[in-house]
Amino acid sequence: MPTIHPTAIVEPGAQLAAGVEIGAFSIIRQHVSIGEGTVVGPHVVIEGRTTIGRDNQIFQFASIGAIPQDLKFHGEETTLTIGDRNKIREFTTLHLGTEDGGGKTVVGSDNLLMAYTHVAHDCVVGNHVILANNATLAGHVLVEDYAILGGMSAVHQFTRIGAHVMASGGSMIAQDIPPYVIAQGDRAKPVGLNLIGLKRRGFSTETLSALKKAYKLVFRSGLRQEDALQQIAETVEQSPEVLAFTEFIRNSERGIAR
């Protein structure tokens, strides 16, 4: 059975699995579903058509499932889906999707969203992502697995952040950041590969060597992007990581940061 503090409000229709804890003065609205073992701290508001997985920790004053900060939203039945084992810290805000953006906001599993972080409407956040304090995602942003956004960073709408990216604190990101890259600045630009992070995650020496070659061809050779990608295809071992790097660049609609 769930454990609900006497001062909390859980509306009829809300679904709380076994082992869920709801803290003092928290409010859980009628369309919310919370999975087994998730702990909701005091003064949390969870609303909208929000589905939360198991074993999450949601700290005090978080606001989850509120309507989008989008003037085109007029009460459509959109959703927010959150996976398992996430840590959602104080004053974090996560919003429902919009009809024009596909109708759903998605946050994966094993993420750390530090205090005052914001995930706007129609964002997709992968797994093992860290958003440091005050990191902000505008609408329709994609953040791939293992990306880290430093404190006070902000991501422009419709921008993509590749897997294993490290964005330094205060980065203002207005164009796509390819996988495995460190980016920093206003407007943020790549400054190298995230070698320390990749080594910690077990990337082989051979893989790192191939990624270095690919990175240099795109960002250091002076070649046009199309020519650099062609050179990578012809001269660099086509490992899954190199392919992910080049395909991300080819598929960029906003253009990659340079």
- Which amino acids are annotated catalytic? 121-122, 139
Q: Tell me the C-alpha distance between 211 and 153, whole Å.
A: 25
Q: Tell me the C-alpha distance between 152 and 214, whole Å.
A: 30
Residue found by looking up tokens 């650099």 in the block: 228
User: Do the Cβ atoms of 147 and 122 come closer than 8 Å?
Assistant: no
CA atoms within 13 A on the CB side of 139: 19
The region that residue 81 occupies, defined by phi over 0 for left and psi between -120 and 50 for alpha, beta otherwise, is beta
- Identity at 169, one-letter amino acid code: G
User: Do the Cβ atoms of 108 and 126 come closer than 8 Å?
Assistant: yes
Segment (H or E) for 46: strand 45-46
